[in-house]
Structure 1
């Protein structure tokens, strides 16, 4: 197991002329090593099962921090509670082959800064997402992590209801959802006061056994309904296109440049908004006003055009081109290319070679 621990020391002079030194520790490790740490620390995790309901609690490895992660699973729904704090910033090196690309998740980040999500943010990630070949997932140690995730498996009938609702919303309010080649949707907003009540009740659940399952399922359904209703409320407040200031337009063009320069490892929407000093809502709405498409819709178009040009140059094979434009999965790249240009990338490459 390889764990890289680094320290950044910052020294400054206080107003009372005292020298103060801050030490910031960063722990870097692979996903496999990160999972192994958790497994070694939880050789006999507390597990409770009954009538299709299972519950498991894992304590944070002492080398990383303190706290726990608790998962409950029943009938295609997984509810995960995070309540911990790391000693230092933890960087986990992720690889696409280790991640399930099919996502059905609604989450509520009550506290902390983890994987691009900050205190007070609710989010939904839905569909089949293309991940870069390799990236780093960061959890910061500045605030304790307090988080609720709800995963819905495709086998659960609720999954289709949410999918249909999101498709309707995408047609009505494309400014509010990011559509990545028609197969993945992502959105992030603030946690509302109405959401906080069921979130607190989940952490303070007073029941056990079958009653606990019924109680938690009711709270999950309530939170899902509130999240979908939040998206509908956003649509009511979107009027005619607002006039963008010249500075806003300049920042939106900068966002486009960042996307073009990083097709293999593009930033998330929130990261991109922070890089160009705009809030995520203004970036989403403004990008559509300026370029006539969503942020990740533009990224997809740019990736496909870049792939077409690379194939036409005949210096790379299909697999190399797929990786260059940010597709870890070659079959998904082929499907996206075929949808864009009406033919498979291999057939396109052969047509160029044959003149």
Structure 2
């Protein structure tokens, strides 16, 4: 049985202070770097590794990339006094739980989950991370002022879907789980593989952060419109597993029957679940993800069109080109040359 490690925010502050002191010594100060818009640090401790890269993109908007790899079960307790803040969180891998002090219900994040949270006032939370996994997170912090200025749903920003959802946030309502879509997955990969530096990097990451917020708010409206479901929680978990199996096998996806078997669910519930959770068919989801991944690879510029087609599961470049143009209104060759 794995041992437990307990850390507080005060412990973390002390560790980061040590890293900052080391940063002044060029021969060892490689684990803490900071400038006006970025802070990057890495903690390497006996209990494991904690990597953090945060960006101040503009007033009211931050982006943070976090990775946890712990050899022991990890418990982190944080106390804070927070100005009103919306948090958009994307769990790329691994899983963890967060329990707010004084509340019976905990917040649980699994791989390929996304969440919207609202923070305000005095808070105390305990995060628990199991050992033997890598948890990768992308988090966006947005103050309500920015949401107000960006809201175009109605003339009064306070009536936007986000404000409606958190209309009771003063009383502590805080967490929502949102379905991760193929478009979100691609935008997240683009953030993690950002090819730019300097001001171009800043603008690129800001555009991707705003894109992810837009995609989450859109999906929130989709999820709310299909909130009534006959699926059990175990069925929902298995449908998410089936989605992950599809993504891992883009070039050779399993048949519907084999996918259902691998996910431990019958084919009827699998088809029903994809329509209810992802608002599309199983292979409609696969097609959309293939196209988004192809667009990302083309924009990255490291593969030619034929190689991209093969990577996302097309044996014939002509069929790939036709599907791509139908989806995006531009040929893959033309996009690559842009």
Report the TM-score, using the length of structure 1 for normalisation.
0.51
> Cα distance 1:182–1:198, how it changes in 2: closer, same or farther (>3 A)?
same
State the 1:130 CA deviation: 6.0
Aligned to 2:72: 88
State the 1:243 CA deviation: 8.7
Kept in 1: contact 2:39–2:53 (CA 8 A): yes
Q: Aligned pairs, how many?
A: 209
Mapping 1:150-169, distance limit 5 Å: 150-154=140-144, 157-161=146-150, 167-169=159-161
Aligned to 1:335: none
Aligned to 2:91: 109
State the 1:121 CA deviation: 0.9
Aligned to 2:33: 46
Task: Give 3-state SS (helix, strand or coil) of 1:100's partner.
Answer: strand
1:60 aligns with 2:43: yes
1:268-318, Cα deviation, whole Å (9 max, x unpaired): xxxxxxxxxxxxxxxxxxxxxxxxxxxxxxxxxxxxxxxxxxxxxxxxxxx
Structure 1 unpaired stretches of 5+ = 1-8, 10-23, 246-355
In 1, the alpha carbon distance for the partners of 2:45 and 2:9 equals: 17
Kept in 2: contact 1:127–1:184 (CA 8 A): no
Mapping 1:229-240, distance limit 5 Å: 229-238=218-227
State the 1:65 CA deviation: 1.6
Task: Give 3-state SS (helix, strand or coil) of 1:40's partner.
Answer: helix
In 2, the alpha carbon distance for the partners of 1:99 and 1:65 equals: 28
1:84-132, Cα deviation, whole Å (9 max, x unpaired): 312212112333xx3425322111011122333221110111353663x
Structure 2 unpaired stretches of 5+ = 24-31, 99-107, 233-338
Kept in 1: contact 2:71–2:132 (CA 8 A): no
The two structures, once aligned, show a CA RMSD in angstroms of 3.2
Task: Give 3-state SS (helix, strand or coil) of 1:60's partner.
Answer: strand
Task: Give 3-state SS (helix, strand or coil) of 2:3's partner.
Answer: strand
Mapping 1:1-355, distance limit 5 Å: 9=1, 24-43=2-21, 44=23, 45-49=32-36, 54-66=37-49, 68-76=51-59, 77-95=61-79, 98-100=80-82, 102-114=84-96, 115=98, 116-126=108-118, 128=120, 131=123, 135-154=125-144, 157-161=146-150, 167-169=159-161, 179-181=168-170, 184-238=173-227
Task: Give 3-state SS (helix, strand or coil) of 1:229's partner.
Answer: helix
Larger radius of gyration, structure 1 or 2? Answer: 1
> Cα distance 1:185–1:31, how it changes in 2: closer, same or farther (>3 A)?
closer
> Cα distance 1:228–1:83, how it changes in 2: closer, same or farther (>3 A)?
same
Kept in 1: contact 2:69–2:133 (CA 8 A): yes
State the 1:166 CA deviation: 7.5
Task: Give 3-state SS (helix, strand or coil) of 1:216's partner.
Answer: helix
Kept in 2: contact 1:112–1:144 (CA 8 A): yes
1:118-151, Cα deviation, whole Å (9 max, x unpaired): 21110111353663xx553222223201110011
In 2, the alpha carbon distance for the partners of 1:198 and 1:243 equals: 31
In 2, the alpha carbon distance for the partners of 1:178 and 1:186 equals: 13
In 2, the alpha carbon distance for the partners of 1:67 and 1:33 equals: 13
1:295-343, Cα deviation, whole Å (9 max, x unpaired): xxxxxxxxxxxxxxxxxxxxxxxxxxxxxxxxxxxxxxxxxxxxxxxxx
Report the TM-score, using the length of structure 2 for normalisation.
0.54
In 1, the alpha carbon distance for the partners of 2:38 and 2:183 equals: 27
In 1, the alpha carbon distance for the partners of 2:136 and 2:81 equals: 23
